[in-house]
Structure 1
Amino acid sequence: MSIVSRLVLPLRVLLVMVFLGLLVAQVMSFPGEFLFTREEGPRMDPWRWPMLLFFELEAVCLQVVIVCIWRLLTLVQRGRIFTPASLRWVDVIMWAFVSAWLLLAVMAGSLISYIYFTPELRDPGLPAVLIGITLIGAVLVLLIVVLRDLLRQATSLQADMEGVI
């Protein structure tokens, strides 16, 4: 039994836990965090709905990635990771990451603009953090694209080797 096959079950348990945690956050935590507080009533007036929508959509993107990873783990267990079926799941992961990054870039740009054009909020700290997080997200998206191309090349080589044998 290889180390990969021994890690599939613990990884699946963790994926289920993260998926359920995101589901609980979407239903219970995010709405309570962004829409209401006990002391103040509704808060973050101009940003409460955009922030709620942002976090809900980001959580959906993560849930899509979790489902795709689950399917890829099934292909790994069956020894079929270097097939066109795996490329479809990796494509969905890639587009989920692209969508999440685009959402992040739009939200970060909006918040940076809001902070910049509101004199009492001008502080370089939060915009710098938002720009840094957006750049890190871009690196992750590009890394996923490169890894997808590596899988495509490995799949092509696997098919060529099977044709020779």
Structure 2
Amino acid sequence: MLRSRWSVLLLRVALVVAALWLLVLMAMSLPGELRDEAPAFRVPAQVVLTLVLASVLVVIVCIWRLLTLVQRDRLFSDASRRWVDAIVWALAIGWSLLAAGALTVTTVIFLTPEIRDPGIPMALFGVVVLSSLPMLLMIVMRGLLRQATGYRAELDEVI
């Protein structure tokens, strides 16, 4: 149990650091990076990137709530499934926005002869594919949680 407490504590510290980093990124870094761009590009890019980062913040909050359920030994409950569902939805929304933004940038690059270069579209493709992995992993984990919750309920009936 001691190891579990330390793991939960360290994970909570990492979640706080990650959340603070994302907030600084959204408030200071993104506007600064995009300030020299044309307003037609800057505003949609700012909105999309802010929403993607906000979805990651939602995931952080959900993980925090799941850690609370772990500490209370209530992980195998309907409440935990709701938080995992929220994680899946937040990741799906963030991924969809990221994919749409990457597709838009790729389309602009390929339709503009002066900037046609396969490097950025290939990098964006890699980011979109790699960013789908946490969402797919959470879908699998949600199924495992549902199954484990059923087993826990059966075990509680037997005992």
TM-score normalised per structure 1? 0.90
Q: Distance in 1 between matches of 2:140 and 2:14?
A: 26
**Could you tell me how far apart the structure 1 residues matched to 2:116 and 2:32 are?**
27
Counterparts of 1:49-128 in structure 2, within 5 Å, are: 49-128=43-122
* Deviation by residue 1:78-129 (Cα, 9 ceiling, x = unmatched): 1111111100100000000000110011001101100000001111111111
What SS does structure 2 have at the residue aligned with 1:162?
Answer: helix
Aligned residues: 159
Say what the alpha-carbon RMSD is for the aligned residues: 1.3
Aligned ranges 1:29-40 → 2 under 5 Å: 29-35=29-35
* 1:132 and 2:126 aligned: yes
- Tell me, what secondary structure is at the counterpart of 2:75? coil
1:42-93 alpha-carbon deviations (Å, 9 max, x no partner): 4245421121112211111011011101100011111111111100100000
Which stretch of the first structure deviates more once superposed, 88-97 or 4-13?
A: 4-13
1:2 CA displacement? 4.1
- Larger helix proportion, structure 1 or 2? 2
Output the TM-score relative to the length of structure 2: 0.94
Match of 1:23 in 2: 23
Identity %: 47
- The one-letter amino acid of 1:29's match is S
Structure 1 residues without counterparts, runs of 5 or longer: 36-41
2:95–2:132 contact (8 Å) kept in structure 1: yes
Give the Cα–Cα distance (whole angstroms) in 2 for the partners of residues 59 and 131 of structure 1.
18
Runs of 4+ in 1 over 4 A off after TM superposition: none
Equivalents in 1 of 2:84, 2:2: separation in Å? 23
Kindly provide the amino acid, as one letter, of the partner of residue 153 in structure 1.
Q
Alignment check: 8 A CA contact 2:49 2:98 kept = no
In structure 2, the partner of 1:148 is: 142
1:140, 1:12 → 2: CA distance? 19
Q: Which runs of 5 or more structure 2 residues have no equivalent in the other structure?
A: none
